[in-house]
Amino acid sequence: QQPVQSPQAVILREGEDAVINCSSSKALYSVHWYRQKHGEAPVFLMILLKGGEQKGHEKISASFNEKKQQSSLYLTASQLSYSGTYFCGTYSPTSNTGKLIFGQGTTLQVKP
Amino acid sequence: DAGITQSPRHKVTETGTPVTLRCHQTENHRYMYWYRQDPGHGLRLIHYSYGVKDTDKGEVSDGYSVSRSKTEDFLLTLESATSSQTSVYFCAISVMGGDNSPLHFGNGTRLTVT
């Protein structure tokens, strides 16, 4: 079952912040985050393995709440280059054979 | 660069015809995946492989088959293409598999079934 991402789309001005959420109905081992620019392949951003762990990638960071079965991606002081579609991918204990299941994606548009 | 090449990059085919998409990698990684991407659905796993001749089904495997006779090649076959299989298909590899290994994607194949 796919994780659910929210919001589906967000429009920002440069310098503004955004949060993208990813929730699962199943217990999770880990959460991956990827970004895809229009017409390109998805690109890996980060993995979160432990409950409550936060990771950072420049001004993009994420948290993973194992208990709540959810993860959030934080984009701080957004830049034009942050525009794209963001996907979370989750592994569940029942599917830990190499299967990463993605959410439906959140489209982020950053305007000047 | 994970050394992943997908071919063809674009294909238009007619309903009912068989189609094979190829994913080739140069790094001899064990784990390979086929996803399809459709608006509103994100990336959905079709099939994956954890070694030569070792494959398993994903979320949306009906109408698709795969083969992996060599480490470097993972083939996806649409046995009788339908319009619902019009999509962008991405191949991905994982160095180690499992929950702590990132996926690296190929550039995709855009398939149109008329």
Are B99 and A101 inside 8 Å of each other by CB? no
A105 interaction partners in chain B (CB closer than 8 Å): 42-43
Q: Which residue has the higher pLDDT, B41 or A36?
A: A36
Name the band, by pLDDT with cuts 50, 70 and 90, for residue A54: low
* pLDDT score of A97 more than 60: no
CATH number, residue B101: 2.60.40.10
| Contact with chain A for residue B39, Cβ under 8 A | no
Whole-number pLDDT of residue A98:
59
A44 interaction partners in chain B (CB closer than 8 Å): 102-104
Helix, strand, or coil (residue A99)? coil
Whole-number pLDDT of residue B40:
84
| Residue range of the domain that includes A22 | 4-111
| Exposure of B107 in the CB half-sphere (CA atoms within 13 A) | 9
Whole-number pLDDT of residue A103:
94
Name the band, by pLDDT with cuts 50, 70 and 90, for residue A1: confident
Whole-number pLDDT of residue A37:
96
Q: Which residue has the higher pLDDT, B109 or A65?
A: B109
Q: Which residues pair with A22 in a beta bridge?
A: A5, A71
Whole-number pLDDT of residue A4:
95
Q: Which of B28, B23, B17 is nearest to B92 (CA)?
A: B23
CB–CB of B90/A42 below 8 Å?
Answer: yes
Whole-number pLDDT of residue A91:
79
Tally of domains in chain A:
1
Question: Which positions 41-100 of B are in contact with A (Cβ < 8 Å)?
Answer: 41-45, 48, 50, 56, 58-59, 90, 94, 97-100
Name the band, by pLDDT with cuts 50, 70 and 90, for residue A52: low
The Cα–Cα gap between A73 and A22 comes to 8
Q: Are strands B54-57 and B42-51 parallel, antiparallel or unpaired?
A: antiparallel
Whole-number pLDDT of residue B101:
85
| Residue range of the domain that includes B8 | 4-113
The list of chain B residues with pLDDT below 70 reads: 1-2
CATH number, residue A22: 2.60.40.10
Tally of domains in chain B:
1
| Contact with chain A for residue B105, Cβ under 8 A | yes
Are A30 and B99 inside 8 Å of each other by CB? yes
Q: Which of B87, B86, B71, B77 is nearest to B21 (CA)?
A: B77
